[in-house]
Amino acid sequence: MKRILMMVAAALLVAAPAANAQKVNAEGLKAKVAKADADAANAKKNVKSATWLTRGQAYMAAVDAPEANLYIGMPLNMLEAAMGKAISNQEVKKGYSTFVELAYPYVNVYLDASNTVASWQVTKHVVEGAAAAAVESFQKAKALDVKATPKANEGLTNMKDHYLQTADNMYKLGEYKLAGEGYAVAAKLLEELGTPDQSLAFNIGYCYVLDGDFDSALIYLEKAKADNYEADGTLYYLLFHCYFKNNTGDMVKSKDTLLEGVSKYPQNNNLIESMTMFYSREGSTEDPEEVFGLIKAAIDADPNNADLWAGLGNVYLKSERWDDAIETYAKVVELQPESYINQLRLGYVYCLKADAAQNELSKQTFTSYEESTKAQDAVDAIYGASLPSLEKAHELAPTEVTPVELLKSVYYRFSYDDADMKAKFDHFNNLYKEMNQQ
């Protein structure tokens, strides 16, 4: 059984609040648990597997009661038929999705845009710690008598399903730590039942990465790697973040993980983008030459992937290889001409190249006015080459200030000798002032 997590997009539903009708026989369930605990404490009874099977079943019933009859995809009308009207409802943002939260006495139910149950979360347990107690009881039963194993494993299977469902629910609600913990218990139970699921170690690690607990994530992701569960390279992407720790971790292991991942999965965009980020990050001392070949190999395999071209351009930019960056960003613009950021990048790198050329020019001495003018014209031509992309960027995003500021600066260079350029400068200069007054 493979369980690959997917982000679920949800929208809104508005349901009218009504009186509560969820029925949970809490006192009866607690009484059964209390009797089962008393039997388990009795020296004559606690040596019998039947005592522990009964205890496990009592605790399991307490676990199941708050969420009885619920299932993913359950329509609202069936939910209300089974549990009655909710006490209240409200629109909520959970994780990456928006739901309508229906509050019941023991559980909050979350509906998606299709008026169906997308997830739920128990808010009031009949007996605290009941799930762990149920598992412990079933394990004790088969430890006492091998003949109890079939019934005990049946109970453990039910508890495994409970933990998996709870983990799935918590994942959808953005409760990644709780999801990881649930998957971890389910993984142990599956191993005990003789049906291990290699995907769960990956999923647990993924949940902990989303929670920002990189140390816990690393334990499970390394297990997934040992089991050769690499999810088309996504494993290396997650391992990289565990080592990288938002630029505060082990840079050597971060780089080695990326290089290993990209060498195996050159078409994994997350790895390529992480690699370009790693090599172009602030304070990086890495030599980008070792990554160029890997990125180019990925581009050869997917030549129309604008993200890969942009990633290569970012590394060229970080390396101040202006001509290579210009050529690469020009390819990105060719692939996505209506993208604001792509047009801005191309115009910006022309400006950076021109700035570098102007800086070098200021250090030179010339023997004639003509020689100096020719050199300056060459620099100005580079500045001029930025204008089409910057103009297009402004056209695509007229409220963005960055292209306006760059256009103002470039047109200023030409404003003394050309009336049209002077008019352009005045326009963007005034627009820049207006934007900064807002």
For the chain, give every domain's residue range. 1-212, 348-437
250-309: pLDDT as tens digits: 999 999 999 899 878 876 778 877 887 887 776 777 776 777 777 788 788 889 988 888
Q: Give CA angle at 187 (183, 188), nearest 5°.
A: 125
**Whole-number Cα distances in Å, 344 to 202, 242, 417:** 38, 32, 26
pLDDT for res 438: 64
pLDDT for res 14: 37
CA–CA separation, 89 and 362 (whole Å): 68
pLDDT for res 66: 96
pLDDT for res 302: 86
CA–CA separation, 127 and 143 (whole Å): 25
Q: Which of 12, 237, 266, 63 is nearest to 165 (CA)?
A: 63
Contact 208, 216 (CB under 8 A): yes
Which residues does residue 85 pair with via DSSP β-bridges, in sequence order?
20
| pTM for the whole structure | 0.69
Residue 228: half-sphere exposure toward Cβ, Cα within 13 Å: 0
Give per-residue burial for 305-337: e unless 16+ CB within 10 Å, then b.
bebbbbbbbbbbbbbebbebbbebbbbbbebbe
210-222: pLDDT as tens digits: 999 999 999 999 9
| pLDDT band at 7; cut points 50, 70, 90 | very low
301-344: pLDDT as tens digits: 889 988 888 878 877 887 789 999 999 999 999 999 999 999 99
* Radius of gyration for the chain, computed over Cα atoms and rounded to the nearest angstrom: 31
CA–CA separation, 164 and 279 (whole Å): 39
